[in-house]
Chains A and B, each alone.
Chain A
Amino acid sequence: MNRNLIIGLILSAIAILAALVSFIWTPFDHVAMNIPAKLQTPNLTHWFGTDHFGRDIFSMIMVGARTSIAVAFVAVGIGMGLGIPLGLWAAARKGSYVDELIMRANDLIFAFPSLVIAILITAIFGAGAVNAIIAIGIFNIPVFARVVRGAALPIWEREFILAARVAGKKAARISVEHILPNVLNLLIVQATIQFSLGILAEAALSYVGLGAQPPTPSWGRMLADAQTLVSIAPHLALIPGFAIIITVMGLNLMGDGLRDHLNPRTRVART
């Protein structure tokens, strides 16, 4: 395994572990206010300090990881669930009407500034985690469709596909049985990248108040809350920021590492 992959796995594992453990244990109740203990800097009782309501930041970060990961995860799921079949379909019918339609629709979605549209969707249909997921997920669809189509096209030219066709398999079955396994590596890499982008997008939406709503903690909203207090309590902004950076960097490194690890050519070149 290469260095990027190991560092990436460790960093991502920290975030995922924090999210999972938060279901059974957090040092404090993440919504419990304790005004006398407000705005404490990190100390032995409150490892990451407390916010302006005296809530324990460590616990909020743990539960916030849950929100970030869940939103990004489902958004990637939407992208893969719809994007992969569309990409496979377009590749199987290369140059046809269907292919043209799918790819043009993809171009169109790409033309929309994603953050603007995500803001628009959440603003119109109501702020909240579910709408944030949909808004982020929509922009994942063309990404996966494009990656799958691009990777599938050369595979369709290969001899084993010809053999499958001679054996009487239909395009749909070939796509699932032969094309999909061959583009899976690429999809895994793309999924980690989209996952990290999803976490950034969720943070941005929550920051402007359009993501998960209180009392559900989210890293982006913790930053928004911190904005007016940043001069007297910088740790309020620093800690959620570091949480986002570590998670996103972990996922990106994992994506880079996986790309090298899964690609036989670079793997050989490295050893």
Chain B
Amino acid sequence: MIRYTLKRFLSLCISLAVASLLIFFVIEIAPGDPASFMLGINAQPDTVAALRAELGLDVPKFERYLAWTQGMLTGDFGMSYTYRTPISQMVADRLWVSLPLALFALALSTIIALPAGIYAAARRGKTGDVAVMSATQLGVAIPNFWFAMMLVLIFAIKLRWFAGGGFAGWDKGLGAVMWSLTLPAISLALPQAAILARVMRSALLDVMNEDFMRTARAKGLTTTQTLWKHGLRNALIPVLTIIGLQFSFLLAGGIIIEQVFYLPGLGRLVFQAISARDLIVVESVVMLLVFAVIVVNFAVDLAYATVDPRLRART
């Protein structure tokens, strides 16, 4: 297990290093110099040069890359070009919106998907199964931002139960925050719930064909008992993997939903930074998201290997 962990950790480090290189240089070759963009087209060349020096843009690219990655490792993401505030502070503020949103959506998706998947598997081939599977077909086909618009139309505009957008702010208390994140979380959770329900169903169906399930039935357990005692526990392994992967997806996938609901999260920060050519903010936020995905994948791999020793030998 130690060998496996070390090997996975090494590949995690390589992935992070390559990802940081890619992100930095892809963004750096982008057309448009931040300094000239900030000063407008009528700026004098020496003013632009002065601003470039102030922002540290006159330093060679590779040195800037090293400084950026070193800063990242110590939690110092540098200064935003446009806001002139530390990026780590900006990111931390936005995370207080994006992180609860992702967690809320993940919880919703799990609460909806697991019972739905189990129900469908238990009723395989019957009306209940067909109904759940048709609903999941619809769930994966609906664009989440469109679903978000429909939720706003029904629950905010027509019924006036929720606000159509905006974030309550943590000073208003947890209840107000949850209330303002409810519609975004539902729209974000829907396609994920559909995927998860399908995974849950097929994982359970796979397990049901196993010999130990027949043995359990043979020793006198009822179908429901076998399902709960033996089936579910074994079927949960692939399901947990997907839940882990979905978290990072939800964190990144919130970008569009944040646009729909005008939520001041990481997604809106990226959009604002892109339009203001605040490259260092874009780089840092994207790197953070990639970091989250890679680390979650790593954790999922390790968890998986702990549960299923066969995997350690294979890789």
* A interface list, Cβ under 8 A from B: 104, 107-108, 111-113, 115-117, 119-121, 123-125, 196, 200, 203-204, 207-208, 220, 223, 226-227, 230-231, 234, 237, 240-241, 244-245, 248-249, 252-253
Contact = CB atoms under 8 A, between A and B. Distances in A.
Give the 10 A-B CB pairs with smallest separation, nearest first.
Answer: A113-B252, A249-B141, A124-B30, A248-B141, A241-B146, A123-B274, A231-B157, A111-B294, A245-B141, A111-B293
B43 interface: no
A120 to B, nearest CB: 6
A83 to B, nearest CB: 19
B13 interface: no
A237 B150 contact: yes
A210 B270 CA distance: 14
Question: For this complex, into which size category does the number of interface residues on chain B fall?
Answer: 35 or more
Contacts, number: 112
Contacts of B153: 230-231, 234, 237
Interface in B2-60: 11, 14-15, 18-19, 22, 26-27, 30-31
A113 B30 contact: no
A116 B26 contact: no
Contacts of B14: 104
Nearest to B191: A200
B149 A208 contact: no
Contacts of B157: 230-231
Interface string B239-267: 00000000011011101100110000000
A115 B256 contact: yes
A119 B140 CA distance: 21
13 contacts: A107-B15, A111-B297, A112-B19, A113-B253, A120-B270, A120-B286, A207-B143, A208-B259, A220-B143, A230-B157, A248-B141, A249-B137, A252-B141
A204 B145 contact: yes
Contact of B289 (A116, A125, A208): A116
Contacts of B31: 124-125
A197 to B, nearest CB: 9
B162 interface: no
Contacts of A220: 143
B270 A204 contact: no
B11 A230 contact: no
A230 B146 CA distance: 11
Contacts of B289: 113, 116
B197 interface: no
Contacts of A203: 143, 146
B290 interface: yes
Nearest to B156: A231
